[in-house]
Amino acid sequence: GHIVRNWKVRWFVLLQDKLLYYKIAGGKKEPSPKGRILLDGCTITCPCLEYENRPLLIKLKTKTNTDYFLECCSREERDSWALDITGAIHAGHPVQVQELHRMKNSFRLLENISLHHIVERMCDSSTGIKLTRNLGQGNRYKETFTGSALVDWLISNSFAVSRFEAITLSSMLMEENFLKPVGARSTEATRYSDPSEQFLDDSTALYMFAESSKKNIIPKEELQFNISELSGTIVKQGFLAKQGHKRKNWKVRRFVLRADPAFLHYYDPTKEENRPVGGFSLRGCLVSALEDNGVPAGVKGNVQGNLFKIITKNDIHYYIQASSKAERAQWIEAIKPLT
């Protein structure tokens, strides 16, 4: 409410240029709307974390600077309303609406992303993620947060633009031992779920900061690279998801394609040092797109499509996901002349 700051149930109807809301009487909406929110010039914030105990909020600010706080019944409903309201706000710009729907189930992580920086921001006493006490398996855990709260926080702080992207980031934080699961719900997911689905976007799954979150350990299988193979001209670079050779899980890597000599290296975006974690010569390689109408043999986990495969001359198979068909085509076109 604008005068009395209480919360009331209203029936909402979204039109092309406005959002109408009706009073409920006797379980039915009244025939005339109680009010309306004009969407022209509106800005939307979702998730909105201004109310600590109300994680399901959408905030609308009109062009006259009036704030509306709308609370939904679930995160799925909240995100669905937010997407449709945003589409209505940009109704005169179909390209923007199309981009919104594309982003909903794609990943496009920030350039030069640093997990250390994200954790520092999460720990900030004023703007960081809110830590609470929770019960799980009969134990009382101090300073925990839920999986869905972390996803909301990452989106609201512009580290991700979609829930899929935020889950990918959260999985990276857990895999690099910045976070750890606590309680039955989140712990069981790490034991029995597919590696790419071990982080739960769920309000009952609990997580906390790991004691070793500030670790800086050199991997046992640290790879040594010849200086000459890193001296080639950079032809193309960008973020792609790569399937691991041992655990068969998917990790986001920054790929760098070089010519003269022709090599494809990939870097861990969570590491601050600028050295590859893997790479191979492209001479004698085969590169091809994989069909999106099924999961090929040898591919496991959370596959979103836009796959391509590189087979080295030593018969090592690399499975890689791009964020779109166009991006996949660009990478294949750039790699082929170097094989």
Q: Give 149-189 pLDDT, tens digit per residue.
A: 999 999 888 888 778 788 888 887 887 778 889 888 888 88
Mean pLDDT of all residues in 251-272: 87
Number of domains in the chain: 3
The string of pLDDT tens digits covering residues 69-104 is 999 988 778 888 888 898 888 876 655 555 555 555
pLDDT attached to residue 96: 59
* Domain limit, last residue, from 62, 80, 105: 105
Range of the domain at 20: 10-105
Given a cut of 70, is residue 309 above it in pLDDT?
yes
Whether residue 5 is contained in a domain is answered as no
What is the per-residue pLDDT for 77?
A: 86
Q: What is the pTM of this model?
A: 0.49
Note the pLDDT of residue 300: 58
Same domain assignment for residues 69 and 140: no
> 192 falls in which pLDDT band (50, 70, 90)?
low
Q: How confident is the prediction for the chain on average, in pLDDT?
A: 81
Last residue of a domain, one of 157, 189, 216: 216
Specify whether 142 is located in the same domain as 201.
Answer: yes
What's the rounded Cα separation, in Å, for the pair 156 and 294?
Answer: 34
Strand-strand pairing, 57-61 and 43-45: antiparallel
Please report the pLDDT score of residue 191 as a whole number. 74
**pLDDT of 298 strictly over 70:** no
Per-residue DSSP letter, 174: H
DSSP letter string, 237-296: EEEEEEE-SSS--EEEEEEEEEETTTEEEEE-TT-SS---SEEEE-TT-EEEE--SSSPP
pLDDT at 221: 38
Note the pLDDT of residue 310. 94
pLDDT of residue 95: 59
End position of a domain, from candidates 60, 85, 105? 105
Residue 328 identity (one-letter amino acid) = R
Same domain, 43 and 135: no
Q: Please say if the pLDDT value at position 46 is more than 50.
A: yes
pLDDT of residue 79: 82
Q: Which two tokens stand for residue 93?
A: 């710009």
Q: Are residues 122 and 203 in the same domain?
A: yes
* DSSP β-bridge partners for residue 242: 251, 320
The 10 Å Cβ neighbour count of residue 224 is 5
> Higher model confidence: residue 225 or residue 73?
73
Q: How confident is the model at residue 303, as a pLDDT?
A: 65
3-state helix, strand, coil in the chain (%, to 5): 25, 30, 45
Write the CATH number for 326. Answer: 2.30.29.30
CA dist., res. 70 & res. 204, Å (int): 23
Confidence bin at 220 (pLDDT 50/70/90): very low
- What CATH number should be reported for the domain holding residue 191? 1.10.10.10
